[in-house]
């Protein structure tokens, strides 16, 4: 019985820690003075080349969403790479269909 209690406590502690860690990216972005509008503006300015002319940037809680279309898959990968390099960005969403080179979320 003692082993079951210990296992339950361990599992509860692990679940609590996992839940706390899931909230860290959003909290750390805010703690760094994360400004979603500023981050979106900065990233959009870094996507100022002609191959990114149809790419739109949105940022919410440090998570970038790229939408629009590009001519080549390499441009999609480049936009993703540039977004990941931005200070304070925790994640980048570039959902779409590579065969259509879409960045648009489904």
Distance CA 55, CA 94 (A): 11
pLDDT at 18: 55
Task: Quote the tokens at residue 64.
Answer: 């970038």
Cβ contact 91:62 at 8 Å: yes
Report pTM. Answer: 0.60
Per-domain residue ranges for the chain? 2-100
pLDDT in tens, 16-74: 555 555 554 554 444 455 688 999 999 999 999 999 998 999 999 999 999 888 889 89
Measured CA distances, 89 to 20, 55, 65, 78 (Å): 19, 17, 11, 16
Task: Quote the tokens at residue 38.
Answer: 């500023």
| Sheet of strand 55-60: strand arrangement | 55-60, 63-68, 91-93
């Amino acid at each position: 019985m003692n082993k079951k209690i210990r296992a339950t406590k361990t599992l509860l502690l692990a679940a609590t820690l996992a839940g706390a860690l899931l909230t860290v990216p959003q909290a750390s972005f805010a703690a760094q003075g994360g400004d979603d509008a500023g981050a979106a503006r900065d990233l959009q300015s870094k996507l100022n080349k002609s191959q990114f002319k149809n790419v739109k940037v949105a940022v919410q809680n440090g998570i970038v969403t790229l939408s629009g279309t590009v001519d080549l898959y390499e441009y999609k990968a480049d936009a993703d790479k540039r977004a990941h390099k931005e200070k304070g960005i925790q994640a980048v969403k570039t959902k779409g269909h590579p065969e259509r080179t879409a960045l648009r979320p489904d």
